[in-house]
Amino acid sequence: MTAGVRVNLDDTLVAIAGLGPLDEAARAGARDHLDRLTKPPGSLGRLEELAIDLAGITGQAFPTMAHRAMVVAAGDHGVASKGVSAYPSDVTAQMLANFIGGGAAINVLAAAVGASLTVVDVGVAGPFASVLPGHERGGHLVRARIRPGTADMTEGPAMTRAEALRSIEVGIEVMAGLRASGVDLVGIGDMGIGNTTAASAIVAVLTGAAAAAVTGRGTGIDDATHRRKVAVIEQAIARNAPDPVDPIGVLAAVGGLEIGTLVGVILGAVAGRVPVVLDGFITGAAALLAAGLAPGTADRAIAAHRSVEPGHAIVLERLCLRPLLELDLRLGEGTGAALAIGLIDAAVRLRDGMATFDSAAVSGPLDGPTGPGARS
């Protein structure tokens, strides 16, 4: 593993429970500083809100967010054999090699925002080009394969409960390694043919929404394939009857190994007061599971964007998260999260780089930056 450590899920949940609410003193310190900058209070909108949120999550009024990382978890899905995707399962392993080779969209966007890339093989079914440690061109590969893809969830559970738990702990361990290396901001993404089917099933179970309401086109399937995909999800839920109050049971029944790993990264980040930037629908499903395990987790996450997957809007509403972007993205890989890290960078640079009214000798508002005209 990244840090060679084993981390217990229960210990992580205890750590999260001990965090309490967001740090209001840090939020107030950030807000007061922003209101003293040479601009009308609140005029930078969501960028100011981001700076304040970062303070509340980290407990520091002026966190730097200088050491950034992207984590992409990869795994295959047995349910892909039911013809629910426009692409064959071989693509998962092929794209994993592409990530390591530096040729994917996430490689370009992570580099653009100064983020390292960690790719976790937690359940890829097929082989891919061998890479010697330290020779990766596009990202660091973590080999943590639990099994070569999940089972077909229409015929029984996608994995055992022990495998589901292990997938979460892999994510916690990856995040522990990143924290030990000094990472103070993490974005997450996914790769796995068939994983929108698994995510749709998870979201349907956890929210009570109909499968048809949360199931989208994924990689761009046609009408007939979409109808089959909905039917497959309904069949899987009926076959396994997962209990929505048991997140690990839901993950085992209809989830994916890479989704479990993303749950762990989210929990590990929250426990360490590291802001975690969610990407699209798959990471949203993972965030729902994480919130089920540790209430309040969503308060410490940042939603990068709202994808075109219909279930993503339902997820964001359930998590009470307002996305930063709406660009009709549906690629995954963490691409939306990387774009959002660019906005976070802008928020921090504005906070630290702008002059105050006093330092620039600019007249402030007539009633003062903390008077009746200031933002509450």
Q: Report residue 134's pLDDT band, with 50, 70 and 90 as the boundaries.
A: low
54: its two tokens = 């970062």
Q: Provide the pLDDT for residue 135.
A: 58
Q: Report residue 1's pLDDT band, with 50, 70 and 90 as the boundaries.
A: very low
The Cα 61–Cα 45 span in angstroms is: 18
The Cα 62–Cα 78 span in angstroms is: 46
How far is Cα of residue 62 from the mean position of the Cα atoms in its chain? 23
Q: Provide the pLDDT for residue 210.
A: 97
Which residue type does 371 have?
G
pLDDT digits (tens, 9 = 90+) for 178-190: 999 999 999 999 9
Residues whose CB falls within 8 Å of the CB of residue 376, separated by 6 or more in sequence, listed in order: none
Please tell me whether residue 339 adopts helix, strand or coil conformation. Answer: helix
The domains found in the chain, sorted by start residue, are 10-63+350-360 (1.10.1610.10), 68-346 (3.40.50.10210)
pLDDT digits (tens, 9 = 90+) for 294-318: 999 999 999 999 999 999 999 999 9
Q: Provide the pLDDT for residue 8.
A: 85
The Cα 207–Cα 237 span in angstroms is: 13
Can you give the pTM of this predicted structure?
A: 0.94
Q: Report residue 368's pLDDT band, with 50, 70 and 90 as the boundaries.
A: low
Residues in the chain: 376
The Cα 276–Cα 300 span in angstroms is: 7
pLDDT digits (tens, 9 = 90+) for 204-256: 999 999 999 999 998 889 999 999 999 999 999 999 999 999 999 999 999 99
Positions marked catalytic: 333
132: its two tokens = 């010697």
